[in-house]
Structure 1
Amino acid sequence: MTNKVLILVGTKKGAFVLESDAARQSWELRGPYCETWPMNHVIADPATGTILAGGGSEWFGPAVWKSGDLGATWTHSSAGLAYPEGEAPIKAVWSLAKSGASLYAGVDPAGLFRSDDGGETWSHLAGLRNHPSRPHWNPGGAGLILHSLLPHPDDDRRLWVGISAAGVFHTADSGETWETRNRGTRADFMPEDQRYPEFGQCVHCLVMAAGMPDRLYQQNHCGMYRSDDGGRHWTSIEAGLPSSFGFPAAAHPRDPSTLYLLPLNGDSAGRYVPDGKAAVWRTRDGGETWKDLRTGLPQGNTYFGVLRQAMATDRLEPAGVYFGTSTGSLYASADEGDSWTCVAQHLPTVLSVETMVVEA
């Protein structure tokens, strides 16, 4: 029997936790935590129930915070989160992911670290930054950040990462060696004869389909894509969407063909919801067709954006869907997106949204 559902929220001023029962009709807000440091990504370890928060800044430095009591108390560590002397210092942790007994952290400037002791100490996986393309990586609007981490659910050696603006990379040997996985994704900001480079694309978000680890979805600066072969080839699935531009994507917890997006109106037109009317877009057929979901969302004079890690689903039936906005609101749906409720307002800018289901 499900006991409670938690929404884990990373913001520019700390981490927050919202808690509800399985009905998901009423939510209690707690926080801010992590001494109000900027928290770029807050996740849960489903095996232990531990909450982990990655963040920091040029002022505080990088750190991963940890709570074993659902947010009541926290500790943090930055041990090992550093590049060799002489390299640009790490500004912050941008993404976290659990894979087997290991925990991964993506950082700014882009690089990958692993912890085998629950986040107490970290080791740099230098293979990624040793890739031949590294001298040509360029920062996106938020910097040169490793923001997407997708471990393979059945093979701890395999991992995909998304870097702005370098593209998607894959390892099959626990990070020793890497290959680019960008074929078919556009780079509209490049000269016309260089629109499909091997690397250099500005990937915004990378998610994995439930039960099909080689089916990946990618929201890019220049389009929306699906891959059915682990990123070796990408196919555009943006037809039917109001814009090819956006940041977040969230996969359904059971159906590999269901995906949620929140498109924005373009990279140079304000980066807010199209026409000032909020909508989440859902596909049930892997991107062949799309439906806009608006019930309960504001439909006028709405100018918020939603950032790359600020949308998530839960694993209940029917699935819950959640997103947080640049203006500090959090919206929730308990019916797979058919209707929405604002469950928190006036938070700091929301940087990430994840969920955890705690069972009795």
Structure 2
Amino acid sequence: MTGRVLLLLGTKKGAFLLESDAGRRDWRLRGPFCETWPMNHVLADPASGAIYAGGGNEWFGPAVWKSADLGATWSHSSAGLAYAEGQDPVRSVWSLAVADDALYAGVEPAGLFRSVDGGASWSHVAGLSEHPSRAEWHPGGGGLILHHVVTQPGDPQRLWVAISAAGVFHSADGGASWEPRNRGTRNDYLPEGQRYPEVGQCVHSLVMAAGRPDRLYQQNHCGMYRSDDGGREWRSIEAGLPSTFGFPAAAHPRDPETLFLLPLNGDQKGRYVPDGKAAVWRSRDGGASWQDLRAGLPQKDAFFGVLRQALATDPLAPAGVYFGTSGGELYASADEGDSWRCITAHLPAILSVETLALDG
């Protein structure tokens, strides 16, 4: 039985943790951790309870931090987080994922690394960087970054990654070989007749539906999409949304038909919530229809953005939903988005939000 819930935040000035009981009413904030390095992604291994934080920049270099005691103490390592001599250096870790006994790190410039010793050392998953399309990958607005790693529960050989601006790639053999999976997602910046390339799309978020590993949802720079075959084909599910543009998506922990989004007003209109009125959008039917959830969220003069990994759910019933803003506010719902409240403010810009449920 769940006794505690932790929220794990990556920010521009370190990692932060918030803790509450299963009622999720009162929250205690701890941090900043990781010596206030920029932390792009913080998550936990639910099996061991270890917390990992990935980040860095050109000044600090890349590293993955680890806490085995829920944030009381931390260590970090960058051993092996480097490309071969003569290649562009790794600037930062952008994403993390746990798959059985392996830990993955997506980095900038876009590439994938694996650790089999809990983050103490890393090896380059060279098959992705050696894909024949590599010369066609170009930086998005945030750089050429691998910002999502999705693993299939029960089958660690199956991996999906999301790269801006290259698209989604899939491996069925643990990263030895890869294939693009972008058919049906468009690039509005290409000439008419060329807007559905094999690679070159600017995917923003990639999540897997609960209990259905071939059901994927993708928020793209140019639309919102769903795939029911592991990304081989995508179809648009943006009808009914206020914008085709946004960054984060979050799947329900149990219901594969339920998805949460936070659309922004467009890539060239400020990239804040539409009309300065905050809303999380929820679908209960796999994206066929959408409902805007606003109760408790600011409905005037809200000009914040929410980044690609800053929306998350917890596994409780009803599920909790959380998002962090570019202005350092963290909003929480304990009823699957029906009502909201701000549970902390004045943090550095929040880059990622993840959850960890603990027994007792």
TM-score surpassing 0.5?
yes
The size of the alignment, in residue pairs, is: 360
CA distance in 1, matches of 2:136, 2:293: 40
The range that moved more, 149-158 or 9-18, is 149-158
Would you say 1:266 and 2:266 are equivalent positions? Answer: yes
Unmatched tracts of structure 2, length 5 or more: none
Do structure 1's residue 25 and structure 2's residue 25 form an aligned pair?
A: yes
Distance 2:127 2:232 in 1: 20
Counterpart code for 1:150: V
Give the Cα–Cα distance (whole angstroms) in 2 for the partners of residues 168 and 39 of structure 1. 23
Determine whether 1:275 maps to 2:275: yes
The match for 1:141 is: 141
Q: Could you tell me how far apart the structure 1 residues matched to 2:117 and 2:2 are?
A: 29
Shift, 1:192, TM fit: 1.0
- Secondary structure of residue in 2 paired with 1:35: helix
Aligned to 2:119: 119
Matches within 5 A, 1:286-325: 286-325=286-325
2:162 — aligned with what?
Answer: 162
Secondary structure (helix, strand or coil) at the match of 1:194 reads coil
Q: CA RMSD in A?
A: 0.4
- For 2:31, the aligned partner's letter is G
By how many angstroms is 1:193 displaced?
1.4
Aligned with 2:35: secondary structure?
Answer: helix
Give, in angstroms, the shift of residue 3 of structure 1: 1.7
Deviation at 1:154, TM superposition (A): 1.8
SS of 1:244's partner is coil
Structure 1 residue runs without a partner (length 5+): none
- Residue 78 of structure 2 aligns with which residue? 78
Q: CA deviation at 1:230?
A: 0.1
How far the C-alpha of 1:2 sits from its partner, in A, is: 1.9
* Structure 1 equivalent of residue 334 of structure 2: 334
Cα distance in 2 for residues equivalent to 1:267 and 1:92: 24
AA at the equivalent of 2:34: C
In 2, the alpha carbon distance for the partners of 1:279 and 1:324 equals 13
* 1:94-109 correspondence runs (5 A): 94-109=94-109
The letter of the residue matching 1:312 is A
Determine if the alignment matches structure 1 residue 285 to structure 2 residue 276.
no
Deviation, structure 1 residue 24: 0.2
Cα deviation for residue 231 of structure 1 reads 0.1
Shift of 1:224: 0.1
Alignment partner, residue 204 of structure 1: 204
**Residue type of the alignment partner of 1:324:** G
Report Cα offsets for 1:184-226 as digits up to 9, x if no partner: 0010011111100000000000000000000000000000000
Q: Deviations over 1:279-322 (max 9, x none)?
A: 00000000000000000000001100000000000000000000
Distance in 1 of aligned mates of 2:298 and 2:343: 14
Correspondence for 2:237: 237
Distance in 2 between residues matched to 1:142 and 1:344, nearest whole Å: 26
Could you list the per-position Cα deviations for residues 148-200 of structure 1 after superposition, in whole angstroms to 9, with x for gaps in the alignment? 11011121111000000000000001111000000000100111111000000
2:215 matched residue in structure 1: 215
Letter in 2 for 1:103: L
Structure 1 position 50 matched with structure 2 position 50: yes
Amino acid at match of 1:27: W
Counterpart in 2 of 1:191?
A: 191
**AA partner of residue 165 (structure 2):** A
User: Aligned equivalents of 1:333 and 1:107: distance in 2?
Assistant: 31
> Which secondary structure state, in structure 2, belongs to the residue aligned with residue 128 of structure 1?
helix
Measure the CA separation in 2 of the matches of 1:136 and 1:252.
34
1-structure distance, mates of 2:19, 2:182: 39
Give the SS at the match of 2:128. coil
Runs of 4 or more, structure 1, over 6 Å off, are none
Aligned counterpart, 1:353: 353
Once the two structures are TM-superposed, the CA of residue 343 in structure 1 deviates from its matched residue by 0.5
Deviations 1:233-282 (A, max 9, x none): 00000000000000000000000000000000000000000000000000
* Mapped partners of 2:116, 2:221: distance in 1: 34
**How far apart are the structure 2 equivalents of 1:129 and 1:194?**
24
Superposed displacement of residue 103, structure 1: 0.3
Aligned equivalents of 2:3, 2:259: Cα separation in 1:
26
Residue 296 of structure 1 aligns with an amino acid whose one-letter code is G
